[in-house]
Amino acid sequence: MMMRWYFDFLSPFSYLQWQKLKALRDGHDITPVPIMFAAVLDAHGQKGPAEIRGKREFTYRHVLWQARQEGVALRFPPAHPFNPLPALRACIAAGGTAQAVDAIFAWIWAAGRAADSVDALAPLLDTLGIEAAALSADVTKAALRANTEAAIAAGVYGVPTLAIGEQLFWGNDAHEFAMAALEDPSLLTEGEMRRVATLPVGIQRRG
């Protein structure tokens, strides 16, 4: 089954899940889709975890702990959150290949390097064979915008999100759940799984 994987280089959890998805690509059709997480948050009227005091520190420690549990090297870049546009556009300019995704993630989250400007990414762009001008090209900007709009239309509300058919699985910590559903699609239509899909809302907060 074809899968689409929505991610932003801003997200260390995306970096962690990418390490798992790389191993699956030999036997499955997985399309990496770089999107602008901030636009997704805006579409849903949400703040990102790094924008909430207390949650920011917890999130950073949690992802470091997950990385250690999973045996993945992870080093935070000089500042976070940072502007991910240059990295996202670089990925698109490189054709969105698995090699480009891997190289950009490694630059930011394995080596802990800055990626918030074209100048910061210059050595990586050379390695990928990308002209700096390609990042500001209209076609590159339009592709990222289209990816993000398509993600929002598909119901994506966070990154990383793995879409298996029409089912969305959000977060690195939902990876095993996604793999179980991939192996047995009936998992989501059995008993209580089916019932909660139409569970009534008991109360709503007023804005």
Place of tokens 């260390």: 12
Mean pLDDT of 48-55: 94
Angle at 67 between CA 61 and CA 72, to 5 degrees: 150
Count of helices and strands (H, E) across the chain: 9, 4
pLDDT at 151 over 90: yes
Cα–Cα distance between 75 and 78 in angstroms, integer?
9
DSSP for 113-163, written as a single string? ---SSHHHHHHHHHHHT--GGGGG-HHHHHHHHHHHHHHHHTT--SSSEEE
Nearest-angstrom CA–CA distance, 68 and 1: 31
Query: Mean pLDDT over residues 156-178, rounded?
Result: 97
Is residue 113 pLDDT above 70, yes or no? yes
The structural domains of the chain, ordered by start, are 3-196 (3.40.30.10)
pLDDT, tens digit, 9 for 90 and up, residues 172-195: 999 999 999 999 999 999 999 999
pLDDT on residue 117 = 97
Q: Which residues pair with 167 in a beta bridge?
A: 164
Note the pLDDT of residue 52. 95
Written as six digits, the tokens of 194 are 């089916």
Question: To 10 degrees, what angle do helices 118-128 and 98-105 make?
Answer: 140
Whether 129 and 100 have beta carbons less than 8 Å apart is answered as no
Question: How many alpha carbons lie under 13 Å from residue 141 in its C-beta half-sphere?
Answer: 4
Q: With 70 as the cut, is the pLDDT of residue 207 above it? A: no
Instruction: Work out the average pLDDT over 151-169.
Output: 97
Question: Residue 171's closest CA among 62, 38, 51?
Answer: 62
Tens of pLDDT, residue by residue over 121-149, are 999 999 999 999 999 999 999 999 999 99
Residue 23 binned pLDDT confidence (cut-offs 50, 70, 90): confident
Question: Which pLDDT score, from 0 to 100, does residue 206 have?
Answer: 81
pTM: 0.96
pLDDT the model gives residue 27: 85
pLDDT class of 205 with cuts at 50, 70, 90: confident
Percent of the chain with pLDDT over 90: 95
What is the rounded average pLDDT for all residues in the chain?
96
pLDDT tens for 73-108 read: 999 999 999 999 999 999 999 999 999 999 999 999
